[in-house]
Structures are given as C-alpha cells and as structure tokens.
Amino acid sequence: MKQPLQVRDPSSASDSEEANGLEAHQVAPHTNGTNGGATGGEAVGLPTFSVGWAQSHGNRPYQDDRFVDFVLQLPTGGSAFVWAVADGHHKHHVSELVCEELEDVLSVAVGQHPSLEAALHAAIRRLDDNVFSRHAQGLLDTGGTTLIVHVLTASHVYTANVGDCKSVLSSRGACVELNTCHNPNVPSERDRFQAVGIYCSADHIGGSDINVCRTLGDYDLGMPLKGRDAEGRQLGPLISEPEVCVVALDEMSEFVITASDGLWDYYSPESSVLSDTRRTMRRLEEDPQLVAQWLLDEALAHQQRTLHPGTPGDNITVLVVKLRPLPPLPRSTGSRLCLLRGGSGDLTSPKLADLPELSGSGELYGGALSPAESSRHQVLQRRASQQKAMLRQHSSQRCSSDLQLQQEQQQQQQQQQQQQQDSLQQ
C-alpha cells in the first residue's frame, strides 16, 4: 500500500512547522468505452498532471489535519488519481486512521459497485464503520474528522464530501465549486438537527464544540447527536453520509484547489481565491507546489490580521492539482497598456517604440510575459532609457540656451539704458 503523503506524529511538530511538496503523475487511459459514471468510465487518456501541497499548524501546538493521494487501479484495467483531505478534531487519531485506510477501502469498493459514485458512498460508510468498531473496542476514545475525497479520471472529477473542507475547479478562470460545505448555515443541514430539538449556531451544535453537521467518528458525543443501534445502524442527526458530485472536465479545466477550512475561513470568497491563484500561478511558472505554498502564506497572513494577538488560528492544509497548462494570454488593444495617446496595447506595436516611456510595467492582464514578449519588452525598456536620457540632455541644453538668451537680453537692455543716460548728460 502506498504511504500517505502526509501522516505525521503531531507530538514531534513545532508550532511554526510547515511542510510542502510536489508530485507529478501520469494516469493511464481507461480501457473500455462505457460512461454514465461506471467505474473505468471514459476511454480517453489523461495527460500528465502535477500536485503541490502545503500545510501549517496555524499557530496551534498540534496538527490534526491529514491528507493522502494515490493512484487507484480500476477493475476495467484503467486507473484514476485520488486525493483526500481530512480535518480532524479532538485529536488527530480519526483523521489519520481514515487517510491510512482510504486506499484499501476504496480499492475494494470499486470492485464491488457498478459506479464510482456508489463506490465512494460505500467506501466512506466503511471508513465510519471502522472508526466505530475501534471506538466500541476501546481503541479510539474520542475524536472525529471531516473528509473530502476526489477521484480524477480521464474526463471527470468525482467529489465525495463529509463536512466543511472545500474544493474549487478553475474553468478558464471561472470558479466551479465541487462540493457543498455541511455547516449549520445550510438550511437542509440545520433542519436535520432542529427536527430532533437540537439547537444549532454558527459556532457549535447542541452542547458540543463542533460546528459541522456531518463527520466521521465522534461517537464519544453519544446520543442524541450520534450513535448506533443494536444492528449497527447509525442514529442521530450528526451523519457521516457523503454528498457526491460529478463534474465533466474539458479543455478549459485548469486546476483544482482543495483545502481544509483553515484556508477558506480566512481567505474568501472562493471566486477571489481562485482568480488570485490563477494570476499568481502565471507568475510562479505554473508550479503547483509554489502556488500551494503561496495560498498557505496568504491564509496565514489573513489569520494574523483577523485574530487577536495570542489567539491560535486553525490548522491549514492546501493541495493544488494542476490539470493542464494555462492558456496563452490574449493580445488585445483593450489592455491597460492603451494609456498611450492613440497607441496600441500590443507589445509588438511600433507605436510603443515611439512612446516607450508609456510602455507599461511589463505585465499584461496580470500575467508574466512570454519569452518572446519579454525579449521585446527588454528592447523597449533599453530604448526607453536611451530616449529618456536624450530627453533629459535636450532639456538641459534647452535650459542652458534659454538662460544664455536671457543673459544676452539683459546685457542689451543694460547697454541701451547706459546709452540713454550718456545721451542725457551730454
């Protein structure tokens, strides 16, 4: 079994410890032509993609977040890429257990069910069964976790979510939300608790200190929140049933951001996060690891500005899955370079050479210039410097000439005045 990317011993980590990494993957094409959500699904090869990740304690003395990724072999002979984030609470034991068992449990489920949707439902139910079994045996005394799982095939991304982790997909810059967070501010989630007389607020549910409406584990909370009957059926409104979403990918699908609520609670809305990330990705040479680290740094900065001094933030885990390169930047006369007096926004326009001091900052639509554009821009910058130096020299010469002319005029006036005085004296 492939080891999880990140399963740490929290006792060995410091407050400020951060981690990040990068992996590149190739997913094999599926071997059959079926679709409609069947396992093995699409007969289209998926190009090489890369995954970057970053993680921080968020000024807490412990790290309860865990995450994992692996390649899932499908019964049809194809493969899919899986990644998941688990945001644990009341210690890390449940989040760690879930990430360690996910690969084996999901591998079994895809062989027993006709679709990836059904397999994801079954796998997450099995994970919660395993947590309850250990709790009943006294091997786990407390704790629970949220969980978001993605399965990436050649043409679809499947998302199964329990809790408040979140993922968004960039579709040519548009924000596509891949899941709904299960928080008390969602009416359907809140109603499930209120129907049995349990009060919900944004900060907590009932008498507990959790603020999510679906979790794995948390059997130590007991009824009326969560429990099992004699036959092992789950009881209570704090359910572990996932919501599964399927989104088709196309040539506009660029990258996915998956993160625990430590990112989204302090850096929002999601559309702003995605647009900021897309601009930053161009500046960072589309390196998902650097982008993940940048997102982490932004979230930590937002936490620091938002929280009172000394108040701990939240654990943060960020994964960036780059599906394909970003498209070339458009070349348009509608850019901010059109501050020229009737000039063009195209960096190759000869009018830029006429007015190089107005040639802009070297960035178009917030993205880095291509090598060809960069070379052209360097030429323009050198030409601008030369012309500015010439302008300064000409200006200095004009000032000197004007001063000399003024002095000559003053001398002539003085001579005329002296001649007039001499004439009067005679």
In the chain, what's the furthest Cα-to-Cα distance? 136
d(CA 172, CA 250): 10
310: left (phi over 0), alpha (psi -120 to 50) or beta: left
pLDDT, tens only, 89-116: 999 999 999 999 999 999 999 999 999 9
Q: Are the beta carbons of 275 and 324 closer than 8 angstroms?
A: no
Residue pair 243/163 in contact by the 8 Å Cβ criterion: no
Burial class (CB in 10 A: 0-12, 13-18, 19+), 370: middle
Please give the pLDDT value at position 245. 97
Mean predicted lDDT score pLDDT of the chain: 78
pLDDT tens digit sequence for 328-341: 887 754 444 433 33
Closest CA to 74 of 36, 112, 47: 112
Contact between 82 and 147 under an 8 Å Cβ cutoff? The reply is: no
348: enclosing H helix or E strand: none
Radius of gyration of the chain (CA): 32
Measured between alpha carbons, how far is 223 from 227 in angstroms, rounded to an integer?
6
Alpha carbon 290 to chain centroid, angstroms: 11
pLDDT, one tens digit per residue, over 41-69 is 332 345 568 899 999 998 899 999 999 99
In this structure, which CATH number among 3.40.50.300, 3.60.40.10, 3.50.50.60, 2.40.50.180 belongs to the domain 50-180+214-322? 3.60.40.10
Extents of the domains making up the chain: 50-180+214-322
Sign of CA dihedral 227, 231, 233, 236: negative
Task: Copy the structure tokens of residue 187.
Answer: 């009416």
Highest mean pLDDT among 249-253, 388-392, 417-421: 249-253
Identify the three-state secondary structure at position 79.
strand
Residue with tokens 């500005």: 305
**C-alpha of 258 from chain center:** 7
Q: How far apart are CA 410 and CA 415, in angstroms?
A: 9
Of 370 and 207, more confident: 207
pLDDT digits (tens, 9 = 90+) for 345-378: 333 333 333 333 322 322 323 334 445 545 555 6
Between CA 320 and CA 54 the distance in angstroms is 9
Query: How far, in Å, are 340, 398, 421 from residue 409 at the CA level?
Result: 40, 16, 19
